[in-house]
């Protein structure tokens, strides 16, 4: 893993070519820019830009990516999109 100050978007766990294309559409081009984003707003904007309702797992991936951008020492489990998926589903059930 590169030093925290030298990380690139593609260095984040669970960020592959499709997510990099999403970041490009959202005009997010750096870790510092990503760290300032709201994953829910990113998801809604991506749905608007593409004109379709994107699978909500994309939101989970955005949450994992933003969390990693904010904390280079984030525990490995929280770097995975499915951690955030599980939280989203648990919170949905509680409401």
Domain boundaries, the chain: 9-94
Query: Can you give the pLDDT at residue 94?
Result: 65
The answer to whether residues 20 and 75 touch, using CB atoms and an 8 Å cutoff, is no
Query: Can you give the pLDDT at residue 1?
Result: 47
- Reference 31, options 59, 61, 6; nearest CA is 6
The answer to whether residues 20 and 86 touch, using CB atoms and an 8 Å cutoff, is no
Count CB neighbours of 55 within 10 A.
9
User: Would you give per-residue pLDDT tens digits along the chain (95 residues)?
Assistant: 445 568 999 999 989 999 999 999 999 999 999 999 999 999 999 999 999 999 999 999 999 999 999 999 999 999 999 999 999 998 877 65
């Amino acid at each position: 893993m590169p030093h925290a100050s030298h990380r690139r978007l593609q260095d984040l766990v669970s960020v592959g070519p499709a997510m990099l294309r999403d970041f490009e559409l959202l005009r997010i081009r750096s870790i510092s820019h990503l760290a300032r984003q709201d994953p829910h707003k990113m998801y809604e904007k991506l749905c608007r830009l593409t004109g379709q309702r994107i699978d909500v797992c994309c939101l989970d991936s955005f949450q994992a990516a933003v969390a990693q951008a904010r904390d280079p020492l984030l525990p490995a489990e929280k770097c995975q999109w499915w951690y955030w998926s599980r939280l989203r589903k648990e919170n949905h059930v509680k409401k």
